[in-house]
Structure 1
Amino acid sequence: MSLSAQRSAIVDLGSNSVRLVVFEGVARNPLPIFNEKVTLKLGRGLDATGRLNDEGVTLAMDVLGRFHTVARAMGAEPFEVLATAAVRDASNGPDFVSAIRARMPGVPIRVLEGTEEADYAARGVLCGLPEANGLVADIGGGSLELIHVADGQYYEALTTKLGVIRLQDRAKGSIESAAEIASELLREVNWLPGMTGRPLYLVGGAFRALARLQIARTQYPLNLVHLFTLSEGEAREMSDWVIGASKRTLEKLPNAPRKRLGDAPFAAVVLKCLMERVRPSKVVFSVDGLREGWYMKHVASSVAGDDPMTALAEEMAGRLARSVTLSNALTGWTAPLFRDETPWQRRLRQLACTLSDIGSYDHPEYRAEQTYQRVMHCHGVGFEHAARAFIGLTLAVRYEVAMDASLIEPSRQLLSRSEIDRAVRLGLALRLAYTLCAGTTVLLEECRLLVEDQQLVLILGARSVRAAGSAVRRRFERLAAVMQLECQVREE
């Protein structure tokens, strides 16, 4: 199997559920091509009995046998099973692992220590957010891992017995008791006050359930949990609402995570106690955790230093655009229109230039729509929601979307007026550029834009003069009008 076709697989055997993920290739952004989860509740009753739940153990044997068959049929290598808190703490954990080895011959099975679990969770968050600087909280059924991340690595890390199943058992289902238990355990973590005022990154299925409920409840315009972000106040209000809402109220929400509804109030309790302890600057949900951390460490360590957004943009352009060499020229060509941009704004402009031709092979009537949806919904670990909204709107304008189209409503909701204006300006500039150069660097180098004396100036060289036509004039005038400048064309 070639490197590009290489597949890898991991079974994440947790206290609440077991999941098989098969990744395609070796790339900076993990690409799952198979993802299946089964709820086992292995950790139910663990604190009282000291043993794994018998019903869950029986079900696990059948599920793991299926996962073994699927991963081998897909040619996954490496293929590994990682077991976490429930198996680690249970008296019958070693016997369970022996039974798994018999069911999955030749597959490495590792029971992670708490610090190892935290290590993988930290790597997973850093996979999508290499610039993360704050506290990672990874909640499972049996444990809660807390990790301090900064500068592309992690520092303090520990595990606590604050998984949602274990917390429910210890609190006997009482939210009030759960809050007391969580507060007491978190007070014992002496380095947590040092995280005050930094972002709080939430990982794990029970935390993801909170995000899904909030997205549905608020009719948030983008149904993506990954990098869904709340202010501290919004997160507190959400937590109070989840704790106080009836199960029936939660069930009525569209796309409600029904299997997690019983866990959600206890996850909200843990979140509230964490926020009381660290007062975060914001709360960021991440779908990347242990599994993606394993992938980055064991499969894609060679590309771990690459920027995830740039890597994804270049990969998409390589598959869908006519040229992969034009982006740098476009970034330079559009620069005179954005003299006041911040480093982050320049980065978004550069990414938009890289992705600016990914609709070239789509039907002309649907290029704006398909390109916009492709950017907004692509599986890209590093794309924050506002970044998707800016780049998606830019490319939709580049493909002549109607500005009142319902298609771009998510961008209207997620972006400020000034950001929308920048996206429109860049989209119109890109449309002009492609009209002039037909996607070729040689023709783009024959012309350039300038802003001087309240005028937008288009300077055309000999070949670009011959390539110019009424469409060029029309699109140039539209760009100038949006910028509220007079327009002038010069030949040289």
Structure 2
Amino acid sequence: LAIEVLDGSEEAEYAATGALHGLPIRSGVIADIGGGSTEVARVIAGRIVGAWSFPLGALSASAEWLTEDPPARKQLKAMRRMVAETLATSAPSGLAESDKLVATGGSARTLARLAQRQAPYPIPRTHGYSLDRDTLRDVGAFLAGHSAIERSAIDGVRAGRADSIVGGAIILEEMMRHLRADRLTVSSGGIREGLAMRAFGEPVPQPRLVRAVTVESLLRHYRVWDEDDMEARAIRADTLSPDPIEDPFSETLEAARLASMLRALADAGTRPVDALLGEDLAGFDHIMLARVAAILHFIDGDKDAARPFLSLLPGSEKRLLRRCAELLA
């Protein structure tokens, strides 16, 4: 058995490849917050153009800087200052307007789970969840106010994460501040998925293609995929706009196409919305999931069920979603 040891930049590249797979993001910064280090990669148009590794681990930094339990305010400030100084001297600069910040690793996923529990939220998975800086700060402050034993009893904090989650929150907060990012997107993919993709020589695919393939796989799994039927459903959805490619709401029209295809699941006795939200569908962030779920609920005439998903979408899109559902019903 041959063992290959990755250096920090290689680890960052593999983590970025795995984190982006299944997310509709092509450009930005990907941060993998590990226990002993943080890897960062910059991606432009799906291509990795830079990779860095820093000795900023959620566990190692917590053990060194947050020695009191719960940590004292002066310790939190000292660690925050250390992280900010490290990023200022070594990390990539701020995001461009269209760039996104993507975070992967156990700390990011734990913080996303806790944020989702703060208020009713209609989508159960953390992959693709968008976390804003204010919410991250509030969750981090809440965790810092409890001891490790108390944190381990909080729903959403898994075993082995209680000692490091406060440090992980500080690293993510300072990363957002350094990059001037208002939000970050959480990915469940990482280095393992990246290694698998590189082993097969696969580049990061276009998000629209990933969504189409993953929905087809789902329908084949339920044995309801029929080429002629799916083509007819797609054509019907495409006629909702004379030119969906140039339409500013093209992702809404894509959601209509996917909703039309997913309705075939009813023939297998499965509620399309349940499959949409219950399966691990690649290529979907929470915005696209909300679009498709809202259309499916509108088609069923259930406006109340659609309302929580509409709350995640811009107001300018809601009327178009209703119109798409009316034409597809």
TM-score scaled by length of structure 1? 0.58
Aligned partner of 1:389 among 265, 290, 302: 290
Aligned residue in 2 for 1:17: none
Matches of 1:325 and 1:265, distance apart in 2: 53
Counterpart Cα distance in 2 of 1:147 and 1:316? 31
Q: Structure 1's 357 and 422: CA in aligned 2 closer, same or farther, altered over 3 A? A: farther
- 2:82 is paired with a residue whose SS is helix
**Which residue, 140, 153, 164 being the options, matches 2:47?**
153
**Quick one: distance in 1 between partners of 2:42 and 2:172?**
16
1:326 matched to 2:226? The reply is: no
- Amino acid of the structure 1 residue aligned with 2:185: V
Question: Which of the residues 68, 92, 95 maps onto 1:195?
Answer: 95
Q: Provide the rounded CA distance (Å) in 1 between the counterparts of 2:239 and 2:63.
A: 62
> How far off its partner does 1:247 sit?
4.8
What is the alpha-carbon distance in structure 1 between the residues aligned to residue 203 and residue 140 of structure 2? 39
In the alignment, structure 2 segments of 5+ residues that lack a partner are 68-74
| Matched residue SS, 2:41 | strand
Instruction: Say which of 191, 212, 217 aligns to 1:315.
Output: 217
Confirm or deny: 8 A CA contact 1:373 1:392 kept in the other structure: no
Tell me if structure 2 keeps the 8 A contact 1:296–1:304. no
Contact 2:262 / 2:272 at 8 angstroms: preserved in 1? Answer: no
- 2:110 is the alignment partner of 1:209: yes
**What is the identity, as a one-letter code, of the residue corresponding to 2:232?**
A
Corresponding residue of 2:259: 352
SS in 2 for 1:217: coil
Question: Which of 26, 36, 48 is the equivalent residue of 1:132?
Answer: 26
Structure 1 residue 230 corresponds to structure 2 residue 128: no
SS of the residue aligned with 2:77?
helix
Deviations 1:181-208 (A, max 9, x none): 212221221x522436542211111121
Cα contact 1:118–1:157 (8 A) shared by 2: yes
Displacement of 1:267: 0.7
Paired AA for residue 375 in structure 1 = L
How far did 1:169 drift?
Answer: 3.0
Pair 1:112–1:264, CA change in 2 (3 A): same
Cα distance between partner residues in 2 of 1:322 and 1:287: 28
Q: Distance in 1 between matches of 2:182 and 2:137?
A: 12
Deviation of 1:229 (Å): 0.3
Q: CA deviation at 1:416?
A: 5.1
Give the C-alpha shift of residue 162 in structure 1: 0.5
Instruction: State TM-score, norm by structure 2.
Output: 0.83
Contact 2:219 2:265 in 1 (8 A): yes
Q: What is residue 303 of structure 2 aligned with on the other side?
A: 403
Correspondence list, 1:415-434, <5 A: 415=313, 419-431=317-329
How far apart, CA to CA, are the structure 2 residues paired with 1:351 and 1:123?
25
Identity %: 25
Question: Kindly tell me: are residues 224 and 192 of structure 1, through their superposed partners in 2, closer, same or farther at Cα, counting changes over 3 Å?
Answer: same
Question: What code does the residue aligned with 1:242 have?
Answer: L
Q: Which structure has more strand as a fraction of its residues?
A: 1
Name the structure, 1 or 2, with higher relative contact order (CA <8 Å, separation 6+). 2
Question: Which structure has the bigger radius of gyration?
Answer: 1
Name 1:451's counterpart in structure 2. Answer: none
Distance 2:25 2:119 in 1: 28
Equivalent-residue separation in structure 2 for 1:255 and 1:169 (angstroms): 22
Q: How far apart are residue 412 of structure 1 and its match? A: 4.4
1:119 to 13, 35, 40: 13
How far apart, in 2, do the equivalents of 1:263 and 1:410 lie? 33
Q: Which runs of 5+ in 1 are unaligned?
A: 1-105, 432-492
Distance, in Å, in 1 between the alignment partners of 2:34 and 2:323 is: 45
1:291 deviation in Å? 1.1
Letter in 1 for 2:27: N
- Equivalents in 1 of 2:236, 2:124: separation in Å? 35
Q: Tell me the amino acid that sits aligned with residue 188 of structure 1.
A: T
- 1:167 corresponds, among 55, 58, 61, to 61
Query: In 1, Cα distance between the equivalents of 2:318 and 2:177?
Result: 36
- 1:162, 1:414 → 2: CA distance? 33
Are the counterparts in 2 of residues 131 and 150 from structure 1 also a CA contact under 8 Å? no
Residues 136 and 380 of structure 1: is their aligned pair in 2 closer, same or farther, counting only changes over 3 Å? same
Q: Structure 1 341/201 Cα, relative in aligned 2: closer, same or farther at 3 Å?
A: closer
1-structure distance, mates of 2:94, 2:316: 35
Give the aligned residue type for 2:88: R
1:454 paired residue number: none
Q: How many angstroms does 1:322 deviate by?
A: 4.9
Q: Which amino acid aligns with 2:312?
A: L
Distance 1:404 1:410, change over 3 A: closer
Deviations 1:316-353 (A, max 9, x none): 23333252333343343344544665222222222223
Distance 1:328 1:252, change over 3 A: same
Letter of the aligned partner of 1:185 in structure 2? Answer: T
Which residue pairs with 1:264 in the alignment? 165
Task: Give the CA RMSD over aligned residues.
Answer: 2.8
Task: Give yes or no for contact 1:208–1:287 (8 Å, CA) kept in 2.
Answer: yes
Q: Which moved more, 1:263-272 or 1:253-262?
A: 253-262
